[in-house]
């Protein structure tokens, strides 16, 4: 019973996190740069991803020589829900909405934290794993959070000059930081 409640709770948490990220990135609404399309993709991704998690334990109807239209439709629906990478679509849609959003870098940083939490919870829900599964990754996740904060900080720094070169410079600096972290990480991970 506890396990069932845990599984249901994880699925609900995944859907709520996805919806939260979506609302965070979509409000206030903008009407440019395919925002409506991105919003539709993100909504479809979050909803269908939640459906996939909810229907994970439902068995596919057995093969039969001449299945009824209802069985065929149900099987096609299950295939559609299970095979399409809905969460990836949701992530791309939400990120695109964030680009269009008249927001500050801290807003994007919070969205990044929400999105990574959403993906981790989706993973735990689909593999029926407890939250403790993430414990070995705590240090790496902490490092990721630091990089996220640094990225946001780099975004908040005032530009050195008015030209496009200063933005590019900040971007290169952030990229170099991430690359350096990536080089150090294999050694960190071995010790975990």
Partner 1 sequence: MNPNGPTSPAAGTELELRWRSSRHTRRLLTLGLTGLFIAVLARRPEFAGLAAPALVLLAAGRARPQLPRIIVRAKPTTRRAFEDERLAVDVTADGTDDYSVRWRLHPGPEIAPVGATAADGRQARFVVTPERWGRRQIGKLEVTLRDRWRLAEGHATMTLPALDCYPTPARQQTTVVLRRLPNRLGEHPARTSGEGIEFFGVREYVPGDRQRSINWAASTRRGRLQVNTFAAERSQDVVLLVDSTSDVGQPGSSALDLALRGAGAAARAYLEARDRVGVITYQWGGASWLAPALGRRQVYRIIDSMLASDAGYARGASFARLPRAALPPGALVVVFSPLLDQRFVEALRDMRERGFSMLVVDVLNTEPPARRRTEDRLARRLWRMEQDAIRFSLRELGIPVVHWDGEEPLDLPLAAHTRRPMAARR
Chain CA centroid to CA 177, Å? 22
Query: Rounded to an integer, what distance in angstroms lies between the CA atom of residue 94 and that of residue 42?
Result: 6
**Residue corresponding to tokens 């990120």:** 95
Helix and strand numbers, DSSP H then E, in the chain: 7, 0
How long is the chain? 192
Minimum distance from CB of 69 to partner 1 (Å)?
A: 23
Instruction: Look up residue 57 and give its DSSP letter.
Output: T
Distance CA 91, CA 57 (A): 24
Instruction: Please state the closest distance from residue 108 (CB atom) to partner 1, in A.
Output: 4
Residue 113 CB, nearest distance to partner 1 (Å)? 8
Q: Does 19 bind partner 1 (CB under 8 A)?
A: no
Asked if 36 touches partner 1 (CB under 8 A), the answer is: no
| Residues 129-148, mask of contacts with partner 1 (x by CB under 8 A) | x---x--xx--xx-xxx-xx
| Residue ranges binding partner 1 (CB under 8 A) | 59, 85, 87-88, 91-92, 95-96, 98-99, 105, 108-109, 111-113, 115-116, 119, 122-123, 126-129, 133, 136-137, 140-141, 143-145, 147-152, 154-156, 164, 167-168, 170-171, 173-175, 178, 181-182, 185-186, 188-190, 192
């Amino acid at each position: 019973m506890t396990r069932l409640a845990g599984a249901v709770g994880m699925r609900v948490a995944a859907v709520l996190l996805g919806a939260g990220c979506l609302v965070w990135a979509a409000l206030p609404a903008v009407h440019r740069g395919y925002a409506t399309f991105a919003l539709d993709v993100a909504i479809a991704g979050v909803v269908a991803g939640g459906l996939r998690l909810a229907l994970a334990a439902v068995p596919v109807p057995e093969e039969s020589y001449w299945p009824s239209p209802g069985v065929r439709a149900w099987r096609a629906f299950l295939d559609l829900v299970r095979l399409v990478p809905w969460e990836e679509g949701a992530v791309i849609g939400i990120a695109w909405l964030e680009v269009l959003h008249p927001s500050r870098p801290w807003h994007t940083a919070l969205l990044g934290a929400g999105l990574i939490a959403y993906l981790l919870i989706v993973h735990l829900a689909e593999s029926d794993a407890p939250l403790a599964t993430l414990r070995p990754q705590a240090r790496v996740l902490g490092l990721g959070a630091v990089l996220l904060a640094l990225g946001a900080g780099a975004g908040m720094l005032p530009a050195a000059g008015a030209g496009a070169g200063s933005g590019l410079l900040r971007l290169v600096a952030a990229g170099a930081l991430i690359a350096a972290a990536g080089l150090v990480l294999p050694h960190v991970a071995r010790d975990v």
